[in-house]
Chains A and B, each alone.
Chain A
Amino acid sequence: MLTIAVASGKGGTGKTTVTANLAVWLASQNVDVAALDCDVEEPNLHLFLRPVWTKTTPENVPVPEVDEERCLGEECRKCVDLCRFKSLIMMAGSVMVFPELCHGCGLCTLACPARAIREGAREIGVVRTGATAGADSARIPVVGGEMRIGEAMAPPLILAVKRTAPASAVRLIDCPPGTSCPVIASLGGADLAVLVTEPTPFGLHDLELAVGVLRKMDIPFGVVINRDGMGDDRTHRYLEREGIPLLGTLPHSAEAAHCYSEGRLHVDALPGFREAYASIWENIRTLAAREVSR
């Protein structure tokens, strides 16, 4: 399985566009591909792939429940002092748990000498699985997560999406924007990343942050410049200077924007885009082959 994460430092650069179009283009070439929406805070891949969801599973994280009878109270404080997420405090001699702050690591349960803590469950969201409604041969399995409103902790749900997705020759992961924990969770285990950027100063700034993350994680990557022709040539110059492979460009056009706004796919609706994705895929394969032999 070749796992390709589609990421970007900045939101709104075209991650979902690239993921959805590449998935559909690959399926049209009879490549066994699955698409994962790991932007569980604002999932939108389904707007373009329009899967029929067949299964929805709640995802829980463990949260501590303290048995006051057994708790040793003020003298012990082990759970309170060890919690790196600061989700427990000692107040008026008893432990108070703040479940929204808990990351479910389970350390407090392990650390309690009186076995006063047991693990309860808190639902953080759901994982959905389904497939696109195309002809049988071109059906693309789609998996996505949706966080419960008010929930702050995306990584466990992202990992659940990746765990739930079926095995396929190519796995495309639509990552959340930014460079924080949810992005790291989405990128983890990827063979390769495709960074989508737009050629603007904002795009370049956030691209540089994303490049820093991928280098730190030691994941090979290349860049797709979306809306090429707008902005300036600083992004092109940056890629040359840094020796970062340019996997392809997608043109800045009113038709493309219009098509996107209607939730239609560029590879279906616009001339030239199929060739662009064919070329992007060829460059991804070349990069993957080079990295495997590294």
Chain B
Amino acid sequence: MKIAITSQGNSLDSSIDPRFGRAAGFVIVDTETGETSFADNAQNLSLPQGAGIQAAQNVAATGAKAVITGHVGPKAFLALEKGRIDIYLGAQGTVAQALEAFKAGQLDKADSADKEGHW
């Protein structure tokens, strides 16, 4: 299964980006093969609106079935839910540490948004 982890950089050593919609990018990890790749999210950083749902669309395009991030807002949550992509919140530290925490079952699976929408 592919997992998208919001990241401030492009590797496992990069720090987690706690934001979903305006994350710098996503480190995509294939849990079966161990392969990683990076999906840039820079085009969303300066969007006046809709960054969360655009990020959800970008994540879906990578084939990821789960997202690991810090927080998620209501529209992004709806979009990810529609795409049947699970969301794990509360990630901290590096991408690698977040991945370990996820594997150890230490991250909360979101059943709703934990942030308010901007409007």
Contacts and interface: CB of A to CB of B under 8 A. Distances in A.
Interface of A: 80, 85-87, 89-92, 96, 98, 100-101, 150-152
Interface string B81-100: 01110000000000000000
Contacts of A80: 57
Which among A89, A92, A98 has the greatest number of chain B C-beta atoms within 10 A? A89
B71 interface: no
Interface residues of B, number: 18
Given A96-B79, A98-B75, A101-B49, A89 B54 contact: yes
SS class, residues of chain B in contact with chain A: helix
Nearest to A100: B119
Given A87-B50, A91-B82, A92-B82, 9 more contacts: A80-B57, A85-B49, A86-B51, A91-B60, A92-B60, A98-B50, A100-B75, A101-B50, A101-B75
A258 to B, nearest CB: 37
Nearest to B49: A101
The 9 closest A-B pairs by CB, nearest first: A86-B50, A152-B119, A89-B57, A91-B82, A91-B83, A89-B53, A92-B83, A101-B50, A101-B49
Given A96-B82, A98-B75, A89 B119 contact: no
Which among A87, A91, A98, A151 has the greatest number of chain B C-beta atoms within 10 A? A91
Contact of A86 (B53, B78, B83, B84): B53
Which among B49, B56, B79, B83 has the greatest number of chain A C-beta atoms within 10 A? B49
A89 B78 CA distance: 11
Contacts of A85: 49-50
B101 interface: no
B24 to A, nearest CB: 18
